[in-house]
Structure 1
């Protein structure tokens, strides 16, 4: 988990007393944690778990009967529910904006490289990769009203790159519907935040890990940002990888070439108006490499980012957009 939550306060301040309520559990192969401040426990763990189950029925590759698995098994497509429609619509927009570097149809390549639901026995051959590429590409995917369609029967969706960010947003909406305006929702390190802690009135604090300079698999706390509202997500290549000789193959696969991305970026933390947006672009930035990512960020003012990269001599360094730097400097 690349983003860690720091610090909580207890009871109330002025007006209607606000008390802290914490909900924790397991979902989507990881843990979730919700802290909200309200006069009463208006959202329960049962409410949260029902919402999570609904999302899994739509988006989870690990649930055999889910809509996404039905789509992957179908030759032409199916009628999508609101969850699948929203996430695919976002994926298609980001696909266009990133010139195809983010592609939700990359699942067969992810599986071939051993990062799918089961570990591949061998590294895929160039011929195997070329064969798989014929059924990869969001240009073969479309939304027509309520229908999610594909032009190639073997096309498979994998929304794991953004499903957790979307889930965090849905849980935040669940809180908002109960008129909760001070909360932090976290699932697998992806975060959505609004308001302040009570009774201190402090902004929520979010810690960002970075790899240790001498060991890429030993992250340490690096930065703490304070955020009034928005989503914060992180993508990195130093936790999920396979070693082949001297080559480190990370789990982020280039949908154009079929091979893992190879560039100097180690992780990208993105702040955006919502967690779905942040989650989609953190993956895309990782594929761009440092120079391209910085140009892209200058062209997208709604995104702020903190990038950790490896210098040619093997040491790590970091850079951040001006907006992200301001979040690090905000006082409580």
Structure 2
């Protein structure tokens, strides 16, 4: 009788815990925001988050940092002569932008807005490419040291300084959505906005989320494909590259990545940089800065840090494509 009870108890436990995985359902939310697409995928016993809640977060960030909204805080700051009072979203991104700018010796600079617009990658269209004098003039308006923070107020030291958070704001968006999902007690999820993503834990079935790393397949940079597949159990992966967003001037390809120190588009060997970090805003900021470095400098920079790993695609002297990666990133590759 005792053995029979033990057997029944074991059978009940197997039934309960064996079917625990099937009690989770996959929920997927998709949409369009910030000029790109987004996907939120989570696993739960019932629907916990809907599209309206995600879109509400997107709108809040746009109202703070979108260069394409006339009434956003960043637009009001950029148009002002002296500065503007910001919200907590803006200040979080601004503080992180300052930190990464300092860490990268100014290669990441959120005051690059005048140069971005000058080269035709801003909200307004241009009729011709800038001349040397226009670039010199714009450089006088660039530099994180041209802004002072007084609590929630950002004060301009020079009236022409303007901010552009496009190199970091999507990462913050991903982090904010991830934080919201955690607040709703969700454990298994993935958030992706415009290719920048965050993964929280493995799937309920024990499998890790697999992420495809894309990149150019030839030296002409006109063909794109999957370079590697990685597994991420928790953390963020973001990518920055110059082979998809550019303008042509005759046969010259002009990158949308502008060097904040010279005022000219990048012409180094970097083609694409993918960064892994604990959060998406950190990864997003560093992938842009690494794009502005030479390969050897970028490898050394990542090796000195414990908070990021990186995979880089670059062009060799003979024009052929090559890649390199940090030791930590190599461990994540499954294909």
Question: Are the equivalent residues in 2 in contact too, given 1:310–1:317 (CA < 8 A)?
Answer: yes
Change (3 A) 1:69 1:139: same
- 1:87 paired with 2:63, answer no
Change (3 A) 1:13 1:48: farther
- 1:195 paired with 2:188, answer no
Q: In structure 2, what is the Cα distance between the partners aligned to 1:81 and 1:158?
A: 16
- 1:241 paired with 2:251, answer no
Question: Are the equivalent residues in 2 in contact too, given 1:37–1:183 (CA < 8 A)?
Answer: yes
3-state SS in 2 of match to 1:168: helix
- Total equivalences in the alignment: 318
Question: Are the equivalent residues in 1 in contact too, given 2:219–2:315 (CA < 8 A)?
Answer: no
**1:260 match:** 265
Q: In structure 2, what is the Cα distance between the partners aligned to 1:168 and 1:217?
A: 29
- Which of 129, 135, 153 is equivalent to 1:129? 135
Map 1:188-227 → 2, pairs under 5 A: 188-198=194-204, 200-227=205-232
Map 1:41-80 → 2, pairs under 5 A: 41-80=47-86
Instruction: Quote how far apart the aligned CAs of 1:298 are.
Output: 1.0
Map 1:289-328 → 2, pairs under 5 A: 289-328=294-333
**2:33 match:** 27
Q: In structure 2, what is the Cα distance between the partners aligned to 1:13 and 1:176?
A: 24
Q: In structure 2, what is the Cα distance between the partners aligned to 1:250 and 1:243?
A: 9
Q: In structure 1, what is the Cα distance between the partners aligned to 2:164 and 2:302?
A: 25
3-state SS in 2 of match to 1:216: coil
- 1:184 paired with 2:190, answer yes
Question: Are the equivalent residues in 1 in contact too, given 2:67–2:74 (CA < 8 A)?
Answer: yes
Q: In structure 2, what is the Cα distance between the partners aligned to 1:202 and 1:215?
A: 37
Consecutive unaligned residues in structure 2, runs of 5 or more: 1-17
3-state SS in 2 of match to 1:225: strand
Question: Are the equivalent residues in 1 in contact too, given 2:229–2:334 (CA < 8 A)?
Answer: no
Relative contact order: is structure 1 or structure 2 higher (C-alpha 8 Å, sep ≥ 6)?
A: 1
3-state SS in 1 of match to 2:248: strand
3-state SS in 1 of match to 2:221: strand
Deviations 1:126-183 (A, max 9, x none): 0110011111111102322111222111111000111111000000011000010110
Change (3 A) 1:306 1:15: closer
Q: Which moved more, 1:208-217 or 1:185-194?
A: 208-217
Q: In angstroms, what is the RMSD of aligned CA positions?
A: 1.4
Question: Are the equivalent residues in 2 in contact too, given 1:85–1:146 (CA < 8 A)?
Answer: yes
Aligned structure 1 segments of 4 or more residues deviating by more than 3 angstroms: none
**1:5 match:** none
3-state SS in 2 of match to 1:215: coil
Question: Are the equivalent residues in 2 in contact too, given 1:89–1:143 (CA < 8 A)?
Answer: no
Larger radius of gyration: 2
Instruction: Quote how far apart the aligned CAs of 1:18 are.
Output: 1.5
Instruction: Quote how far apart the aligned CAs of 1:76 are.
Output: 1.4
Consecutive unaligned residues in structure 1, runs of 5 or more: 1-11
Q: In structure 2, what is the Cα distance between the partners aligned to 1:214 and 1:254?
A: 23
3-state SS in 2 of match to 1:132: helix
